Amino acid sequence: MRIDIVTIFPEYVEPLRHALLGKALEQGILSVGVHDLRAWAQDAHKSVDDTPCGGGPGMVMQYEPLARTAAAINADGDKPLHIYLSPQGTTFNHELAAELARKPRIALWCGRYEGLDQRFIVEHIDAEISIGDFVLSGGEIAAAIIIDAVLRLIPGVLGDAASVAEDSFHHKLLDHPHYTRPENTAKIRAPEILLSGNHALIARWRLKQALGRTFLHRPDILNQLELSDAQQKLLNEFLTEQHLGEPS
Ligand code: SAM
């Protein structure tokens, strides 16, 4: 996969080269192009923004440097899916991450100030993605979040593929709780079943916890699922154990 990142703060995305991204780069699973928008500015001051047409506060990122950057990116290999990080976009989630992980090339456009000139969005942007209903100062952090979530879904990026398969949302349920050594902390012992060595019982317990957690924390997700009889039985068992009664 290739990811192009367009920003006026290339140094903000450099830390991405550590951890996940670094591994994917080393393994050749990923190549990254960081594009400094100012390199495509025309004046001596390297300006990429100007005051808004119609007046008002803030600055707007200018069409020309954006369009020149897009032309350079498009000319360098296959045209990517151009994504503008924007609070007005489709809210990012696991399904969207999985969809992006299947693309050969994406370009992430990080806005600043009031955002990009609308004419650039109309002409060049294929999709707008938001990371939530709040406003950041710039798209770089949003780009980092998207890159992280997308990369861990690409086969070979994570050491243990099974850990992705068990993560929250992968099977529509939240993940089960995790414990590690020591078996006893000052007040709480790890669940006996996890120490039993019985893998069938451990798998059953984990599924029950995943169902229970999803019921408690994300009933909206659970309501969209059609539970099998066995899953419903496990959920009922969880609720009885927690003294919560059975779902109506
Ligand atoms: N005036 C814009 C609006 O209200 O829609 C907000 C501009 S914001 C201050 C500057 C940049 O931060 C945006 O162009 C976008 O790239 C990025 N940004 C802000 N919030 C975001 C979010 N929730 N998701 C993704 N990107 C965001």
Tokens representing 141? 């952090």
* Alpha-carbon distances, residue 166 vs 101, 141, 169, 199, 226 (angstroms): 18, 26, 9, 15, 19
The whole-number pLDDT of residue 19 equals 66
Distance 87 CA to ligand 1 centre (A): 5
- Band (pLDDT 50/70/90 cuts) for residue 143 is very high
Domain 184-241, CATH among 2.70.170.10, 1.10.1270.20, 3.40.50.150, 3.40.30.10: 1.10.1270.20
Residue nearest to atom 22 of ligand 1 (CA): 87
Distance 189 CA to ligand 1 centre (A): 45
DSSP 3-14: EEEEES-HHHHG
Domain spanning 2-151, CATH architecture: 3-Layer(aba) Sandwich (3.40)
Q: What is the pLDDT of residues 20-38, one digit of tens each?
A: 778 888 889 999 999 999 9
Distance 61 CA to ligand 1 centre (A): 12
The whole-number pLDDT of residue 178 equals 96
114 within ligand 1 shell (Cβ under 6 A): yes
142 within ligand 1 shell (Cβ under 6 A): yes
* Segments making up each domain of the chain, as ranges: 2-151, 184-241
The whole-number pLDDT of residue 247 equals 65
132 within ligand 1 shell (Cβ under 6 A): yes
136 within ligand 1 shell (Cβ under 6 A): yes
The residues annotated as belonging to the active site are 87, 114, 152, 167
